[in-house]
Amino acid sequence: MVRAIAFTPLELRQGAAQKIFYIHVPAAWVAFLAFALVAVASAVFLWLRDQRLDRFAESSAEVGVVFTTVVLITGPLWAKPIWGTYWAWWDVRLVSTLFLWFIYVAYIVLRGAIESPELRARYSAVLGILGAMLIPFIHLSVYLFATLHPLPIVAKASKPSLPGEMLLTLFVSLAAFTLLYIAFVRARYVYATERDRIAAAEVVDA
Amino acid sequence: MRSIRPGTRSDIANPWAPVSEVVAAAWVIARKDLAIEFRTRTAFLSSVVFALLGLVIFYYAWDPTAVSAIDLAPGVLWVIFTFSGLLGLNRSFSVESADHAIDGLLASPVSRESIFIGKALANLVFVAAVQVVAMPALAIFYNLPLIEIAVPLLGVATLAAIGLVAVGTLFSAMAANTRLAELLLPILALPFFVPIVMAAAQATSRLLSGRPVAEASSWIKLLLAYDLIFAVACTLAYAHTIED
Amino acid sequence: MTATSARLDPPLLEVAALGRAFGPRRAVSNVSFSLRQGECLALFGPNGAGKTTLLRVLAGLLKPSAGNARLSGMELPGGPAARARVGLISHHTMLYEALTGRENVRFAARLHGITDQSRVDAALDRMAMLPRADTPVRSLSRGMQQRISIARAMVHSPRLVLADEPYNGLDESGARSLTSLLRALREAGTAIILVTHNLHEGLALATHAAIMKSGSFIRFDRKDAIDSTRYAERYRESLGASV
């Protein structure tokens, strides 16, 4: 149902390369939203120590990394025809997304390396918060790099103003992707809750 | 709650007493870490050798007709700084897990912040000591007049080291308690080191080209902001990494 | 002895319904007792009973998840003032192997704000480690390391000593040094909680004895109410009966 909404806008004929835009941008929106929520959940977890917040952060991170990967794959695919290059080191958003990906991976690897649920939750929360603090610095660093370096002559990455039809499609895509995010996180959260419940039962029985 | 060390007068009138106690305790811990490192020396020597070898390898990896030493040097210097720093950071908390020595620290009156700052200070001295060897080596191997920019370069190096050590000490505390500690530390820390390396390398490059210091100032301000924010954040975060 | 006057003082340590859980697992639950100056509680029980966790809570390493504990009126885990009054001995030595015994004890002293070298020497001397104090700890035998560890725990003259299986690894002469040290501390008014598997040693030093199983005290007796010759039997019974 949710997916049907996502796919209908993609049928608007706007040119093959442009269509990627409707996946790339909403995926980026969800990728960053997911991490913002991880950071918030982490902060509140450290304050309240409620395990449910940790499970939510875990779920949001795993869903977020998938969306981030989508952004990083569609980004170069879109960039090559439009900018003439697969990767742009001056593009603040693209590089920030790359670092978001690095932090997601670090988060997931960290969780995988810790057995104890309490320790895992605490460490992940610290990384979640610090990771969120890093992104603005990456943003600023790349911005400084881009402005202080003579740029190759390239179309600026800022969005041209979109005709109404495309804008509507974009918003529908955004809504669709957000719904997808919620659906995936819910499913993942249920899995995490079940898994923890079983693990706890085993410990008590032992 | 004001901390009162047994045997000392309580300085109710002095609002800075807790701060000076944190610093004093941190210094005791830093000295202990440095004493241990000095006794064994393996991590320090490994880092120094690693840095020197890195300088050599990078030089031979580039085509000297295409890239001049002055273009290559800043990147090389700061990349090596980062990776040799990682070697030192790895050992920072491993001494504490050997016989659960960390419990001795945690059960003593010193605050969690003091423990973190003490460890970070020791790491800072370690990193600085490696740089004391690496920078002159760079100047010699790459034939660079580093002496001329010595003062601003030292400033950049100090700021870069503080940032590296703040984040690195925290992550090494976390990594020490996990499986694959030596692999996990780079995965956690390297993304955080990128702004430091970028800013330091860019600033060094400007300085080496003879540009006035002001041009490097944006990068230096970035380093300063990074240091302030992450030094505070990591010190506060350390307490959360301890089980209680 | 100071027995009568000690009874008039408020308790040094008061533990009320103390609990500590790790996720779903309750390591300590509903433990209550109090300890006055100069009293020694011998704590027995099988492995996994929660004895170490209880001591770690009292040492300020862990926060209680239920109930509370007070040391000289200060709620535990307290700040620096509370931790300054507690000495922790564990079966881990908590030493830095690359440093010498003296350096380890000196470091512990400095953490407590003590710069007086003679206290470091005295602590080492009480455990008969002065002659080997300048050898790196890694070159010492397990028993000697344990003695250094005990010196480290005592250098700041704590009011409450928490000893978690301190006899572990000690040879006879080390054990004798430790017993006489604990006895001297007790007589000087220090309160002691001694976790040990050795019923005989434990009862010899104790003024109170408790048996812990699955996180709770299943027995708590005053020493003068215990028939030492039958205690081993009682111990086995209590463990069997409470399954």
Annotated domain spans of chain B: 18-241
Residue A173 has pLDDT above 90, yes or no: no
Task: Give the residue-averaged pLDDT of B73-78.
Answer: 91
Task: Give the residue-averaged pLDDT of A48-66.
Answer: 92
User: Which band of pLDDT confidence, cut at 50, 70 and 90, is reported for residue B234?
Assistant: very high
- Rounded Cα distance between C243 and C234, Å, is 15
- In the predicted model, residues of chain C with pLDDT beneath 50 are 1-6, 242-243
Chain C residue with CA closest to B3: the answer is C80
Q: Which of B191, B219, B243 minimises the CB distance to A134?
A: B191
Residue B5 has pLDDT above 50, yes or no: no
A55: phi then psi, degrees, rounded to nearest 5: -65, -35
Residue A8 has pLDDT above 60, yes or no: no
Residue B150 has pLDDT above 90, yes or no: no
**Does ipTM come in above 0.90?**
no
Using the beta-carbon criterion (under 8 Å), do C25 and A204 form an inter-chain contact? yes
Q: How many CA atoms lie within 13 A of B93 on its CB side?
A: 25
Q: Which of A69, A83, A78 is nearest to A30 (CA)?
A: A69
Q: What is the pLDDT of residue A161?
A: 56
Using the beta-carbon criterion (under 8 Å), do C23 and A204 form an inter-chain contact? no
Using the beta-carbon criterion (under 8 Å), do C59 and B107 form an inter-chain contact? yes
**Choice between C33 and A204, residue whose per-residue pLDDT is larger:** C33
Average pLDDT over chain B, rounded to an integer:
87
- Residue A50 sits at the chain C interface (C-beta within 8 Å): no
Chain C neighbors (3+ CB pairs < 8 Å) = A, B
Region of residue C215 (phi > 0: left; psi between -120 and 50: alpha; otherwise: beta) = left
- Residue A76 sits at the chain C interface (C-beta within 8 Å): no
* pTM reported for the whole predicted model: 0.89
User: Which band of pLDDT confidence, cut at 50, 70 and 90, is reported for residue B212?
Assistant: confident
Q: What is the pLDDT of residue C43?
A: 93
Q: Which residues contact residue A125 at a Cβ distance below 8 angstroms, ignoring those fewer than 6 apart?
A: A41, A42, A43, A45, A46, A54, A57, B240
- Rounded Cα distance between C159 and B98, Å, is 28
- Residue B202 sits at the chain A interface (C-beta within 8 Å): yes
Region of residue C206 (phi > 0: left; psi between -120 and 50: alpha; otherwise: beta) = beta
Using the beta-carbon criterion (under 8 Å), do A148 and B202 form an inter-chain contact? yes
The identity of residue A164, as a single letter, is G
